[in-house]
Structure 1
Amino acid sequence: MTAAPRFRSLADRVREHARARPSAPALLQDDERLDYAAFDALLDRVAAALQRDGIGPGDVVAICAHSTPRYAAVFLGALRAGAAVAPLAPSVSPESFAAMLGDAGPGRLFADAAAAALLDRVPEGVPIVALDRAARGTPLDGWLMPPGSTPTPVEVQPEWPCNIIYSSGTTGTPKGIVQSHGMRDAHIERGAAYGYGPHGVTILATPLYSNTTLVVFFPTLAYGGSVVLMAKFDAARYVALAERHRATHTMLVPVQYQRIMALADFDAHDLTSFHMKFCTSAPFSAALKADVLARWPGGLVEFYGMTEGGGTCILDAHEHPDKLHTVGPPAPGHDIRLIDERGIEVAPGEVGEVVGHSRGMMTGYHGRPDLTAEAEWFDPSGKRFIRTGDVGRFDADGFLTLLDRKKDLVISGGFNIYPSDLEAALREHPAVVEAAVVGVPSATWGETPVAFVVARGDANVDAGTLKDWLNARVGKTQRVADLRLVDELPRSAIGKVMKRELREAYGRAP
């Protein structure tokens, strides 16, 4: 029987690469370059400074900033000290930011100019360390221990908290999702199948506070590759950087793929260096997957799962071009099941809520055992699963097709309406770029669907005509009560459409 691989923390893996290949690039951004030796030394200085300040195992460090090499060094330096990291989005409201800080209880907050508007909400007892000259607080260079400093070694345990990822808050108060080092290590070990290695170059245009980014960022460094960071996504600049750095891996959300593939000169760029491209976090249409496969070299992999973990489905799109409408089968070792409203497993081929179990599962929501219990489901044997809130169906080959978010399901006159079906129908119209359908209150039906559409700039279409076009193509019970043309759909920083904002905006409209 083969022994399980010895657990090594990510910070320890970086140390190994620094000793084996000290001059190899670890992080690149614009004109800044940190090789593994310099990166490892900076991690030591961060960890030693945190220990000097009394921060270590059991403590939390928060970061609210744009993605930079300094951000990465603080993140991994805190892990080396044994502390957990709470990466916070600078785009959140001051109220959400204050709630996150109050929940995490960090011993230090690291911030840059991106968080300037939020810093007045920092509790008096939380010292701020400035990652740039524009932010308030003690400058990082003055806070760090001197060059050559080393921390007291900490033997990180797999069950320790690695990070606390806060939900985007699109459905209410953000929740802190505690992910262990063991969970992160499972993501790293999974990366062995995707060609990460010392000569790999990963380009990232999603933020480091997002789990979407971390599931690729961590394995790249764990296997000794280089990471090219973009502080802000721009499609044209992305392909130029990918070409210049001969990128081999990337993680993008669907709206980013859409904007890249729409570039007029996309086909003129040499992207043959790519080995694997990844996508997650939002619905990825079959048509867009097919376009990426046809025109962008290298494999394409879609991950379906939650920040909370539980179970993951993986679609190797380049190997299954006939399954692009699915999110793939369960990953090896992952147990994905479907349950009904009573918590009972549904029969094969039937629709149900997706629940999953795997090695990569959150410990729970930080300080909220009540919410943790709501997110769990146990099978008759007592095996723990995480509820996704998604509704889906397995096909005969074991591939999962997602129908919609359970909370986005519209129940109109007793009929279940899946917004994703209507959105897919709308995207078939040549004038439609994007569409989102939400349920709004109805005195007659309880709920009724309403569509929001982004039209092509050169399209000559009006809302009433488009509504009639859609309603003529869907079932009688699926017809939308209203259709609004909008300039853009509200999205989170990682591309998720914030349907709650659409519902609220519709309710406020005269």
Structure 2
Amino acid sequence: MDPIKAYAEQSFGVFPEFIRLQAQARPDHVAIICGDAQITYAGLDARADRIAAALQRDGVRPGGVAAICALSSIDYMAFFIGTLRTGAAIAPLSPSATPDQLQAMIADCGASHLATDAGVSAHLSEASGAVEAKRLALDPGAEGQALDDWMAPEGSKPEVIEITPDMAFNIIYSSGTTGVPKGIVQSFKMRWPHNHLGETVGFGPQAVALVSTPLYSNTTLVHVLPTLAGGGTLVLMPKFNAHAYLTLAEQHHVTHTMLVPVQYQRILAEPDFDQFDLSAYTLKFCTSAPFSAELKAEVLKRWPGGLIEYYGMTEGGGTCALIAHQHPDKLHTVGQPMPGHDIRVIGPDGSQLPPGEIGEVVGRSGAMMTGYHGRSDKTREAEWFSPEGERFIRTGDLASVDEDGFFTIVGRAKDMIISGGMNIYPADLEAILLDNPAVADASVVGVPSKDWGETPVGFVCLAEPGAAEPADILAAANAKLGKMQRLSDIRIIDTLPRSAIGKVLKRELQEVYAAGE
């Protein structure tokens, strides 16, 4: 049997070993392309070994942590893989975090090493003195010792480490908008199933995956890991631009991609979208933010290849998958639980709800976080135990499930608006606003109300400048809404504030409204 396939069929294995096996099987196959640079599997394997050997030389052992904060690059992935080979966990940090947040995350995870690029080094400079980790420079201008000078000599091999299932693979920090985000610890056991997507979705040596979401995001990693495990080629795009994305897709005959909904929206809005040859696409994926049925339908109509939407959390638990090209009548849903995933809807008292009723989504599977790093209290808050005593992860999302087992998300529990004692789900109101041809994007938040406790307010981006007045948008939406759902105000803004993976930052909208801006 092919050694790579045999390894994949084991009950447990580790991602870095796939890189070694691919380097042995197809050493000259291109593993990663980034701009004008590229590296083969043999080159990636050797570079990761030199990084692992240098980390061990510096005293890094299993249970340790190394952090990286940078835009996507070949050396980003080499450092990621090299760290894992030592049995230490990798902590990929967001370059968009504030300097104080970055410093706090580095301290929280206890990273012994921090690799950054020049942009992050400049951003972090005001808090640099508080960073105790050894600094490594991924490119000229970054603080610390140059990676090429620091790495072990060419041909170096690290000490082989036995990695067990419960060892930490990575610590990913949640995208909090205030304070320090929580560190989500994912084990090697949790990550192992993410390497098993090859045969089901075509992640083999022929795959070419275009990656335009940041590498610190779980959204990206669930796409990157199976691509490299299967021997495909990653095309990295450090900064997303819709037209540049299409150019790369055509140039490299891209077969797979993971995008968030706002990226699909911007790509399809490109005036010359239909002029690009995208015929090589096999599958496109989407996750991380609400994906409207209308946008899914447009992707299916205009973009070759299938479309799969994943619904889940970085914390793990349960994942739903909507194979959109097979279920065109279910585009309003996020699909059904994946095999081996137990997903339920529970009420405020923790009881399981029947189909059709709205409650919180909880999930259980083989891919679940160990917990929040150093935050046992927050870990307990995120857990729900079934009557059978099984551990589930709470999502904080509100949803209902239909008779066919398809889940429909109606919003976040924390975003639900309680007005006059009635529950209002922002997603329902946002869908009405987006039905208006004058509206290109919309979000609804709750704001304090003297009469009702809370009241819904809509923020909209116009399809064209001056396309409609706020009063007209408000009247058109409220004419379609129930009396207790009606919006109290509409604000027109240029763009909705979003995180790096496309989630609308509703707290910022509430702050804008409170400030009267």
TM, length-normalised to structure 1? 0.98
What does residue range 247-396 of structure 1 map to in structure 2 within 5 Å? 247-396=254-403
Q: Please tell me whether residue 413 in structure 1 is matched to residue 417 in structure 2.
A: no
| Alpha-carbon distance between aligned partners in 2 of 1:216 and 1:11, rounded to the nearest angstrom | 15
The offset of 1:157, in angstroms, is 1.6
Letter in 1 for 2:143: R
Whole-angstrom CA distance in 1 between matches of 2:191 and 2:57 = 27
Matches within 5 A, 1:150-189: 150-170=157-177, 172-189=179-196
Inter-partner Cα distance in structure 1 for 2:11 and 2:429: 49
Q: Deviations over 1:241-276 (max 9, x none)?
A: 111101111000000000111111111111111111
Q: CA deviation at 1:482?
A: 1.1
Aligned to 2:107: 102
Paired position in structure 2 for 1:144 = 151
1:62 aligns with 2:67: yes
Cα distance in 2, alignment partners of residues 246 and 44 from structure 1: 30
CA–CA separation in structure 2 for the residues paired with 1:449 and 1:242: 41
Aligned to 2:457: 450
Q: 1:205 and 2:212 equivalent?
A: yes
Identical-residue share of aligned pairs (%): 57
1:436 corresponds in structure 2 to 443
Q: Does the CA-based 8 Å contact 1:376-1:384 persist in structure 2?
A: yes
TM-superposed CA distance for 1:181, in Å, is: 1.0
Tell me the SS of whatever aligns to 1:227.
strand
Q: CA deviation at 1:458?
A: 4.4
Letter in 2 for 1:121: A
Q: Say which is worse superposed, 182-191 or 255-264, in terms of deviation.
A: 182-191
Asked if residue 500 in structure 1 is aligned to residue 512 in structure 2, the reply is: no
Aligned-partner Cα distance in 1 for 2:450–2:124: 41
Q: In the TM superposition, what whole-angstrom CA distance separates every residue of 1:192-238 from its partner, at most 9, and x where no partner exists?
A: 31110011100000010011000000100001000000010011111
Give the TM-score taking structure 2 as reference length. Answer: 0.97
- Counterpart for residue 117 of structure 1: 123
- For the 8 Å contact 1:171–1:500, the answer to whether it is kept is no
Secondary structure, counterpart of 2:336 in structure 1 = coil
- Give the match for residue 19 of structure 1: 24
Q: Structure 2 vs 1, CA of residues 435 and 5 (structure 1 numbering), >3 Å: closer, same or farther?
A: same
State the AA in 2 paired with 1:507: A
Query: Is the contact between residue 197 and residue 203 of structure 2 (CA under 8 Å) also seen in structure 1?
Result: no
Question: Structure 1 unaligned runs (5+)?
Answer: none
Looking at structure 1, the residues matched to 423 and 11 of structure 2 have their Cα atoms a distance apart, in angstroms, of 49
Task: Report the Cα offset of residue 172 of structure 1.
Answer: 4.9
3-state SS in 1 of match to 2:446: strand
Please report the RMSD computed on the Cα atoms of aligned residues, expressed in angstroms.
1.4
Kindly indicate whether residue 495 of structure 2 is the aligned counterpart of residue 488 of structure 1.
yes
Shift of residue 441, structure 1, vs aligned partner: 0.8
Give, in whole Å, the separation in 2 of the partners of 1:89 and 1:345: 36
1:460 aligns with 2:467: yes
Q: In the TM superposition, what whole-angstrom CA distance separates every residue of 1:35-59 from its partner, at most 9, and x where no partner exists?
A: 0011100000000000000012100
**Cα shift readout 1:143-173 (whole Å, capped 9, x = no counterpart):** 1111111101112222111001101113653
Note closer, same or farther for the CA distance 1:417–1:172 as it changes in structure 2 (3 Å cut).
Answer: farther
Paired AA for residue 53 in structure 2: A
Partner letter of residue 75 of structure 1? Answer: F
Deviations 1:51-94 (Å, cap 9, x if unpaired)?
A: 00001210000001000001010001100111101100111112
Equivalent position of 1:193 in the other structure: 200
SS in 2 for 1:380: coil
Q: Which residue identity does 1:370 align to in structure 2?
A: D
Q: Deviations over 1:323-373 (max 9, x none)?
A: 000000111110000111111111232111000000000000000000000
User: Which moves more between the two structures, 70-79 or 168-177?
Assistant: 168-177
Contact 1:179–1:362 (Cα < 8 Å) also in 2: yes
- In 2, are the aligned partners of 1:422 and 1:437 still within 8 Å (CA)? yes
Are 1:92 and 2:97 counterparts? yes
Aligned mates of 1:460, 1:496 — CA distance in 2? 25
Query: In 2, distance between residues paired with 1:49 and 1:360?
Result: 31
Number of the residue aligned with 2:138: 131
- SS of the residue corresponding to residue 281 of structure 2 reads coil
Quick one: distance in 1 between partners of 2:230 and 2:477?
49
1:410-455 CA-to-partner distances (Å, cap 9, x unmatched) read 0000010000001000001011010000001111101100110000
Partner of 2:45: 40
- The 2-side partners of 1:354 and 1:125 are apart by 40
Question: C-alpha separation between the residues in 1 aligned to 2:162 and 2:348?
Answer: 44
Please report how far the alpha carbon of residue 7 of structure 1 lies from its aligned counterpart in structure 2 after TM superposition: 2.2
Q: How many residues align?
A: 509
Whether 2:225 is the aligned partner of 1:218: answer: yes
Q: Is 1:28 aligned to residue 33 of structure 2?
A: yes
Q: Is the 8 A contact 2:103 2:131 kept in 1?
A: no
* Superposition deviation, residue 4 in structure 1: 6.6
- What's the offset of the Cα at 1:464? 1.5
SS in 1 for 2:473: helix
Secondary structure of the residue aligned to 1:452 is: strand
Change (3 A) 1:4 1:75: closer
1:83 corresponds to which letter in structure 2? Answer: A
Detail structure 1 runs of 4+ shifted over 4 Å in the superposition: none
